[in-house]
């Protein structure tokens, strides 16, 4: 048996005054998958970062197979066969996948003969059940491919303990099944132990043996997955019995006037090739239109072009006037939204939470008086939004990159959804959110719709999409290939269009 048993004892970690981990202990049995559950900001990422030597806990011990180890850097973890797929990508964007694999090896080779190296890498990666191109730059991979490349990297490095921090948020259900199924089979064979952080209960139930729930930095529940019901887990996460899911307000039929109209839109991707091809669509007032599709089929480019982040051909009009994403137009036409990777695309990561919350309206009263900022009003607004959307942060003045992944998302939603929204564009709005926050976000999107806003929702999660939207558009290879009302949608048909097996 080569899979190690790893035990964390009494881990405590502070960030300034913020106690991120409070005396947490965790036992990962040999040859099992151990799931970590918890709300956004509960400390899951912090705990596993301590385990790979990325953070240094104030207190606590790490034992591998009963022997105590000190991990001062990820290199030490590497030597013990512990590796992690981080929540945010850590591949080097300008290097190819093969170069990334080589540079992450335990010993850096002096001279690399790429011909034989590529042959060797192909041999090794051929045994894996999923395919990632080796000689393509990481920056040109789609989010799903990047995630698979991260996992390939860890498996290639021959890990004995593999930590996966929300690995499936950018994978389609089928890809997630491939990846996690393979990890599962390795643990069953006794070759690997694993830690899986996820917000999806069905994944935990399907792939994990044990589960530990964190709440506000403390371990509140641990045990075999089979012994714990979903309700018990949810209750442990939020600390109170779960009320039944909120019922969405009843749908009212959309009004006839068109808010967003896109005609013959063409957009190039980063590689200079067309990513969106002659795309036309319209969204009406009081309607949620959903774009379904596997990631990397032009959704990202579509959203960036709509928001003026990318050059484009074709016309985009909002409420009848042409829209180029300038600040004036955004405010006048009420266009708001949540882009992909919000920390990168909707925040200024070195500015404070309060300032980030004010990015939409810092140039209007009451946040400014003449040319001067009114920091009092800024703080008041931030406090209100943080309370209303329950953003958990070390403080209003904490810099944005100190927030946990899910809380960045909440902060952006708080800023965008409290404006006078007439068109809402949201890409995967619930990526990385815990189930409470997911429900809240759904409710807010539906509220915006019922308030008369037009909503364009881009999501790779088909179930989420079908539960929310009025009309489904399927995007594949840069085109809308299928359109159907949500009430008469057939998941299998949509799936076929998504996979590009049917053309429009």
Partner 1 sequence: MDVTSIGWLTLPLAILGGAIRVSTPFIFVSIGELITEKSGRINLGLEGTLMLGAMAGYGVSYLSGSPWLGVLAAGLAGTAFGLVHGLLCSVKRVNDTAIGISLIVLGTGLAFFFGKPLIEPKAPALPSISLGFWSSVPQVRAASDVNALFFVGILLAFAVYVFLNRTGWGLMLRTVGDSEDAARALGFPVLRVRILATMAGGFLAGIGGSFLSLSYPGSWSEGLSSGQGIMAVALVIFARWRSINALGASLLFGGAGALGPALQGVGVTGYYYLFNAAPYILTLAIMVASTSRAAPFADAPGELKLHR
Ligand X SMILES: Nc1ncnc2c1ncn2[C@@H]1O[C@H](COP(=O)(O)OP(=O)(O)OP(=O)(O)O)[C@@H](O)[C@H]1O
Residue 139 found at the interface with partner 1 (CB under 8 A): yes
Written as six digits, the tokens of 31 are 């040859």
Residue 477 found at the interface with partner 1 (CB under 8 A): no
* Binding residues for ligand X restricted to 83-112, rule: CB under 6 A: 87
**Contacting ligand X (CB under 6 A), which of 169, 297, 381, 404?**
404
Residue 172 found at the interface with ligand X (CB under 6 A): no
For residue 84, give Cα distances in angstroms to 81, 187, 433: 10, 16, 20
**Distance from C-alpha of 351 to C-alpha of 338, rounded to nearest angstrom:** 18
**Distance from C-alpha of 191 to C-alpha of 204, rounded to nearest angstrom:** 20
- For residue 265, list its beta bridge partners: 279
Our CB check for ligand X shows the closer of 139 and 399 to be 399
Q: Which residues bind Mg ion (CB under 5 A)?
A: 45, 87, 405
Stretch that binds ligand X, among 78-86, 173-181, 269-277, 389-397 (CB under 6 A): 389-397
Q: Angle of helix 435-450 relative to helix 405-417, nearest 10 degrees?
A: 20
* Binding residues for ligand X restricted to 25-44, rule: CB under 6 A: 38, 40-44
Our CB check for ligand X shows the closer of 21 and 316 to be 21
Residue 109 found at the interface with partner 1 (CB under 8 A): yes
Stretch that binds partner 1, among 266-274, 284-292, 451-459, 492-500 (CB under 8 A): 266-274
Residue 102 found at the interface with partner 1 (CB under 8 A): yes
**Contacting ligand X (CB under 6 A), which of 205, 392, 496, 502?**
392
Residue that has been written with the tokens 């709005």 in this structure: 429
Instruction: Give the phi and the psi of residue 301 in degrees, each rounded to 5.
Output: -65, -40
Q: Are 55 and 46 in contact (CB under 8 A)?
A: yes
Kindly state the helix (H) or strand (E) to which residue 276 belongs, with its residue range.
Answer: strand 274-284
**Contacting partner 1 (CB under 8 A), which of 75, 131, 202, 364?**
75
Our CB check for partner 1 shows the closer of 103 and 499 to be 103
Identify the CA nearest to 100 among candidates 146, 163, 43.
146
Distance of CA 489 to the CA centre of its chain: 26
Residue that has been written with the tokens 């949608």 in this structure: 489
**Distance from C-alpha of 381 to C-alpha of 391, rounded to nearest angstrom:** 13
Residue 111 found at the interface with partner 1 (CB under 8 A): yes
Identify the CA nearest to 261 among candidates 82, 423, 75, 69.
423
For residue 420, give Cα distances in angstroms to 382, 405, 438: 17, 26, 22
**Contacting partner 1 (CB under 8 A), which of 30, 142, 268, 419?**
268
Identify the CA nearest to 301 among candidates 433, 88, 475, 421.
475
Pairing between β-strand 321-322 and β-strand 274-284 as defined by DSSP bridges: unpaired
Residue 163 found at the interface with partner 1 (CB under 8 A): no
Residue 429 found at the interface with ligand X (CB under 6 A): no
**Contacting partner 1 (CB under 8 A), which of 112, 232, 368, 484?**
112
- Residue 147 CB, nearest distance to ligand X (Å)? 15
CB closest to ligand X, residue no: 406
Our CB check for ligand X shows the closer of 269 and 395 to be 395
Give the per-residue contact string, 295-334, with partner 1 (x = CB under 8 A; - = no).
Answer: ----------------x-----------------------
**Contacting ligand X (CB under 6 A), which of 394, 395, 495, 500?**
394
Residue 104 found at the interface with partner 1 (CB under 8 A): yes
Residues that bind ligand X (CB under 6 A): 15, 18, 20, 38, 40-46, 87, 392-394, 402-407, 432
């Amino acid at each position: 048996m080569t899979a190690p048993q790893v035990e964390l004892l009494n881990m405590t970690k502070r960030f300034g005054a913020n106690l991120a981990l409070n005396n947490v202990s965790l036992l990962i049995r040999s040859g099992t998958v151990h799931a970590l559950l918890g709300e956004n900001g509960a400390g899951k990422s912090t705990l596993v970062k301590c385990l790979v030597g990325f953070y240094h806990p104030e207190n606590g011990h790490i034992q591998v197979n009963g022997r105590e180890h000190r991990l001062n850097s990820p290199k030490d973890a590497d030597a013990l066969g512990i590796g992690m797929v981080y929540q945010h990508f850590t591949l080097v964007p300008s290097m190819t996948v093969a170069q990334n694999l080589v540079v992450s090896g335990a010993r850096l080779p002096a001279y690399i003969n790429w011909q034989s190296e590529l042959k060797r890498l192909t041999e090794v990666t051929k045994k894996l059940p999923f395919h990632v191109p080796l000689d393509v730059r990481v920056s040109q991979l789609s989010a799903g491919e990047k995630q698979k490349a991260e996992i390939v990297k860890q498996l290639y490095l021959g890990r004995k303990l593999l930590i996966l921090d929300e690995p499936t948020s950018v994978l389609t259900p089928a890809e997630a099944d491939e990846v996690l199924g393979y990890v599962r089979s390795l643990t069953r064979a006794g070759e690997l132990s694993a830690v899986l952080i996820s917000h999806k209960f069905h994944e935990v139930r399907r792939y994990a043996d044990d589960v530990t729930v964190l709440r506000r930095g403390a371990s509140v529940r641990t045990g075999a997955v089979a012994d714990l019901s979903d309700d018990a887990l949810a209750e442990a996460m939020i600390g109170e019995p779960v009320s039944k899911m909120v019922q969405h307000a009843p749908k009212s039929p959309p009004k006839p006037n068109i808010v967003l109209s896109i005609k013959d839109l063409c957009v190039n991707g980063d590689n200079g090739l067309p990513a969106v091809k002659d795309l036309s669509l319209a969204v009406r007032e009081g309607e949620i239109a959903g774009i379904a599709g596997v990631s990397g089929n032009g959704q990202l480019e579509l959203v960036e072009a709509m928001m003026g982040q990318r050059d484009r051909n074709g016309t985009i009009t909002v409420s009848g006037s042409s829209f180029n994403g300038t600040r004036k137009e955004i405010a006048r036409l009420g266009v708001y939204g949540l882009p992909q990777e919000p920390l990168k695309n909707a925040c200024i990561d070195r500015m404070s939470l309060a300032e980030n919350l004010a990015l939409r309206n810092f140039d209007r009263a009451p946040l400014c008086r003449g040319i001067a900022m009114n920091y009092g009003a800024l703080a008041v607004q931030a406090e209100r939004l943080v309370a209303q959307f329950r953003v958990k942060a070390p403080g209003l003045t904490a810099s944005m990159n100190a927030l946990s992944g899910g809380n960045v998302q909440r902060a952006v939603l708080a800023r965008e959804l409290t404006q006078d929204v007439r068109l809402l564009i949201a890409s995967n709005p619930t990526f990385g959110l815990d189930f409470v926050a997911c429900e809240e976000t759904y409710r807010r999107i539906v509220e915006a719709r019922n308030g008369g806003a037009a909503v364009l929702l881009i999501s790779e999660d088909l179930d989420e999409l079908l539960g929310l939207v009025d009309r489904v558009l399927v995007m594949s290879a840069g085109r809308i290939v299928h359109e159907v009302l949500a009430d008469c949608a057939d998941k299998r048909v949509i799936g076929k269009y998504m996979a590009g097996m049917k053309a429009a």
